Every structure is written in structure tokens, then in C-alpha cells.
Amino acid sequence: MIEVCLSTGENGLFEEHTKAEAVIEKLKPELKNKVIAVRINGKVFDLSTPITESCTIEPITFEDEEGKSIFWHSSSHIMALAVKRVFKDAKVTIGPPIDKGFYYDFDVERTFTPEDLKKIEEEMKKICEEDLPFERIEVPKEEAIKLFKELKEDYKVEILEEIEDDKVSLYKTGEFIDLCRGPHIPSTGMVRAVKLLSTSGAYWRGDEKNKMLQRIYGISFPNEKDLKDFLEKLEEAKSRDHRKLGKELKLFMIEEDIGAGLVIWLPKGAKIRRIIEDYWLKRHEDAGYQLIYTPHIGKSMLWETSGHLSFYKENMFPPMELENVTYYVKPMNCPFHIYVYKSEKRSYRDLPIKLAELGTVYRYEKSGVLHGLMRVRGFTQDDAHIFVREDQVKEEIANTVAFAIDVLRDFGFDNFNVYISTKPEKAIGSNEMWEIATESLIEAAKLVGLNYKIEEGEGAFYGPKIDITITDALDREWQCSTVQFDFNLPERFDLTYTDRDGKEKRPYMIHRALMGSLERFLGVLIEYYKGNFPLWLSPIQARVMTITDEQRKYAEEVVEKFKEAGIRVDSDLGGEKITYKIRLAETEKIPYMVVIGKKEALEGVINVRKKGKGVIGNMKIEDLIRMIKEEEDKKGRVSN
């Protein structure tokens, strides 16, 4: 007999080789049909796994992030089975879970159509009704290769031939068998709601030199209600898509003739960007940062010393040869900031040194992953590097995290998630440096009052970091601020300062970005606000409109008064009906609409409408200017 404890507190004695599902059914019967998999002594297994020793079992349900991943991975197998039933000659490749749902890539003779998706989805529903078990089978690798050769599944054979293990695991679902580590849900019957969402082309292993495959995206849930809620949010997400809104509001464009992933800011988008830049510069000057500008290219020697050519070359644009010297466009600003630090001999009295730049960088992203403003090839980072003594680390990190949160709140964000990534197995820097750095990140999160999650072993090899994400109205998580220690570059570039005792010491170096990149941050803002920017960010804050041409002169005077007060204003004084003008302003998401008719012109007042609230009424121009200024000063803290 062995003793088994559930993480929920229940325990009991069981015969050796009792399956995990039987243990849970006895100790926690209310979880029957809810548990997807189990974690035994910290490792995840199928529910059908036999228990061979005394242990602690943690039930995993769909409510857990890991449970969702397992559920969606299993759903991708169901989809593969459905595709094989509908398209007999289809060859399967890989089918992982993703953030919301799953996909599977297939080698088929033609592109999937909407009608094909409908057939596949119907077949998936039948498979779920069949309640087929997911059976795990462990076999020698050579036996698996033989099996998949017989099945003419060439891609599985290719994957198997690269696996070093002598034994591999397969999963059988009905007549479909797949190479997979697992774990999986007990049976297809757990999936009670499924929807196939879209298709796209995808190169095998993401390499343009390989064959183009057909990818199908899907989503699934244990019940219909969750699917309905998801689809409603999906429709809302489509209406918030920054690519769609960016075009409608004339904010930016990406032109294929100019280059994929290269953004052109149109006048309105450029205005928003300039507002953000001016705000950023003022906040950084007030916080004691020194602002710098650095080149867009640098010699190859620079990137050799930094290590980018060793570890990051595939993400860099090809080199340029100029006067027998090799140059690269910069993928990062760090080496330039380091040379600013090295430009003078530094004393302990000089530290902390905080260098900041809105630096444009270029990275070669594969065309398949480019996505509007969210994933581009040229972007401007709100970059900063802080050089500190060991005794300054905790205070500077606390200040930096508090600064990041305060800036994000000005943009209207107030729902944060914080992740602290700790030392990985392979790392540089002493244990003491890692402990000091990691503890400073934890203390900073506590000081600002943020709940945080420790991501054990997920730090970069060169230092721990803290990531701050925001969550929007659709429960989507957006990455914003990052504070990253770097124990690597100070060594590579031999950074020093003279300490109190006259000895040379190595400073701690901290990378820091509040917005990540202006492009991505603006994409997030567009979707977060659905294009309805808070007043301080709106490219046009007010539009003056006339009912007839008789009011033109007075309207022009009103426009000038707004401009003199620093209000961003335009006018619509054409001959169209006022209802059309108002509707157009609403479509363009203008915050304040000023309507001037005969009565307003005679009395020297204005009629004011506010987007989303309708008519406010007649008032003096000075009163609206004061209202706008007061609202503007609050930034986005009360606007979302």
C-alpha cells in the first residue's frame, strides 16, 4: 500500500499502480469529470498514470493555465483526426496549444476553404461525441520511425530522426496516432464546444525555403457558454484591431513598396507620437535621466564585443561594407550607451548614471510574424541604462519600478501583472550578484504594492528581470515595461568606476524600457481605447462646425482662440448638413464637437457636444477651454 495526498488536503492509502483518476475519484469525488491531468510530486502526467510510490497529487483542471494548455493541445489532436477523416491524403506536422486555443499544420494539395473548415469542425464534434480515449504508448524510436514510414507521415519521421532518446511516446486517438510527449485529457468527450477560427499558410519549421503548409486555428472549451463568451470577445477584439482603426483614423501606414514591417506615421499618428515623446522626455528629465542620441549603425567590432554577432545575428540585418569596414544597423542601443559611460573616468560619486534615449533600432523579423505595429522591423525603443553601485541597487530598482507604474497609470492603465524571472541553470555573474538583484526586484514589487509571480529559472543568462504587463477590458495581457539586470555587458566592455577605497569596481548595469517600443505601445493604446484616446493624447481635441456659411467668420475666430490657448483644433466649415458633420466627427473619434449656428454667433457663445455623452449645451469659449485643460491635466487616469 502507498500513501497518496492531494494538494487540497485529502489523503488515503491505495494499492500500488492505482491510477491517478481513481485516487481523485475516491478522495475528491466532486472533481470527477473536471480534472484534466495531474501533477505528481511536481511533474505533470496523464490522469490514467498509475501511482507507484507514496506521493502528493495536484489535480489540474481547465481553470488552470496548464490545464487550458493540455486541453487545447488535445483539441489539436482531435482536429488532426478530423482532417485525416475528411482529407485522406493529408499529412500531419505539428499541432501545439497557443495562448488562446490551438493550431495544426497540414500538408495538403490545396488551400483549405471556409467550406472545408465547416466539414472539419463537424467531424470534430462527432469525434467528441464518440468519447475516444487518449492512449499513451511508449515505443523504441526505431519502431516509431518504422510506423510513421508505413503511414507515409514524412514530417513525423523527420522529427523522430532528430530525437536523441531511444524511446518515444505516441498518443492514439481512435484511428489517429501522433508523436507527442503529452500529457492529454482522458478522452475526446471532455471537449464539448469547439470552433475553427481561420486558416493561413505556414512554412514547415518557419523556413521560407521549406514547403508551404496549411495551418488551421481553433478554440475549444468544456462547455458552450465559455465558447459563446470567447466568440463575443473575439468580435470585440476585431473591432479594436489597431490595423483596422489605424487605417480608419489615418494614424499610420505600412507600404509593401517601402518595406514590410517599416512604419510610416501619418499626420494624426505622428501628432500622438510627438505628444508621447514630449511627455517621455519631460518625465525623464524630471527623474534625473541624461538624454542622449546615438547612431543607427555601428562597426561589426562593436557587435562582436557585445556578443550580438554570436547570439543574435539571425535577427540582424545583413552587413554593409564601407571603405573596407563592416557595419551593421543596430538591433539594440546598449553598446552605444555603454560607450557614453566609458567616455569619462567614473567615480563612486558619479553613480547612479542614468542614460535615456528614444533610439530607433532595426531587427530582421521573419515576414510571417510581422503584425501591424505589434511586430515590426524598424521601431523606436524608449530605452534607458542605469549604472549603479551595489549599495544603490535596491533604491534605484524601487524608483525605476515605481516610475514605470506611474507612467503607465498616466496612460490609463491600472490593472497590472508582474513577473520576476530568476536565475537559469546556465548563468554568468556571482550568486551574490543574482541574489542582490533578484531581491531588489521582489522588494520593488512589494513597495509599489504589486502582486507578482516568480518565474523560476526563466531569467536570461546575464541577469534577472521584472516584466510588467497590463490587462485590458477583454482580459488580454499586454507586455509593457521591463527592468533587466545585465551582468554580461559590463564584463565584455570592461566597465569600471573608482570606489571610495580607490579601487576599480564593476558597476551593476540595468536595462530599462517603460513602453517597450513606441510602435507597439501605440498599437496597444489604439486597441485598449478602441481609438477613443484620452483627451491629452487625441491628435484633434476639438472640431468647430458651422450650420450655415453665415457663421464662418465667427467660427474662424473661435478656432483662433482655441489655438491661442494651445488646444489642438480643426474645423469643418463646408456646406454639408450639420448632422453629417457631427456623424463624421463621431467616426473620427473627436472628443469635443463645437457647433455654431445663428444663435451662437449672435450671442458669442458655442454649442458643445462631447463624444459618447452627446450635447452638453451652450457655453462661453473660455469655459470649454478651461474644461479641456482640466481634463488634459488628468492624463488618462480617469479616462478609460
Query: C-alpha angle with apex 203: 201 to 204, nearest 5 degrees?
Result: 130
User: Which among 354, 465, 543, 609 is annotated as catalytic?
Assistant: 465
User: Is 363 one of the catalytic residues?
Assistant: yes
User: Is 383 one of the catalytic residues?
Assistant: yes
User: Which among 511, 512, 543, 635 is annotated as catalytic?
Assistant: 511
Question: Under a CB-based contact definition with an 8 Å cutoff, are residues 212 and 201 in contact?
Answer: yes
Distance from C-alpha of 639 to C-alpha of 526, rounded to nearest angstrom: 14
User: Which among 84, 116, 381, 512 is annotated as catalytic?
Assistant: 381
User: Which among 334, 382, 394, 635 is annotated as catalytic?
Assistant: 334
Grid cell locating 472: 485590458
Question: Under a CB-based contact definition with an 8 Å cutoff, are residues 557 and 594 in contact?
Answer: no
Question: Under a CB-based contact definition with an 8 Å cutoff, are residues 75 and 220 in contact?
Answer: yes
User: Is 334 one of the catalytic residues?
Assistant: yes
CB neighbours of residue 361 within 10 Å: 17
Q: Which residues contact 286 (CB under 8 A, 6 or more apart)?
A: none
User: Which among 385, 423, 512, 543 is annotated as catalytic?
Assistant: 385
Is residue 156 packed enough to be buried (19+ CB in 10 Å), middle (13-18) or exposed (0-12)?
buried
Question: Under a CB-based contact definition with an 8 Å cutoff, are residues 581 and 551 in contact?
Answer: no
User: Which among 363, 377, 394, 635 is annotated as catalytic?
Assistant: 363
CB half-sphere exposure, 408, CA atoms < 13 A: 28
Question: Under a CB-based contact definition with an 8 Å cutoff, are residues 571 and 593 in contact?
Answer: no
Grid cell locating 72: 487545447
Q: Could you tell me how many residues make up the chain?
A: 640
Q: Which amino acid is at 109?
A: E
User: Is 84 one of the catalytic residues?
Assistant: no
User: Is 308 one of the catalytic residues?
Assistant: no
Per DSSP, 186 falls in state: S
CA distances for 213 relative to 179, 195, 449, angstroms? 18, 21, 47
Is residue 588 packed enough to be buried (19+ CB in 10 Å), middle (13-18) or exposed (0-12)?
middle
CA distances for 396 relative to 290, 388, 400, 444, 550, angstroms? 15, 8, 6, 9, 61
Four-residue CA torsion sign, 170, 173, 177, 183 = negative
Is residue 533 packed enough to be buried (19+ CB in 10 Å), middle (13-18) or exposed (0-12)?
buried
User: Is 392 one of the catalytic residues?
Assistant: no
User: Which among 46, 383, 472, 486 is annotated as catalytic?
Assistant: 383
Q: Residues with catalytic annotation?
A: 334, 363, 381, 383, 385, 465, 511
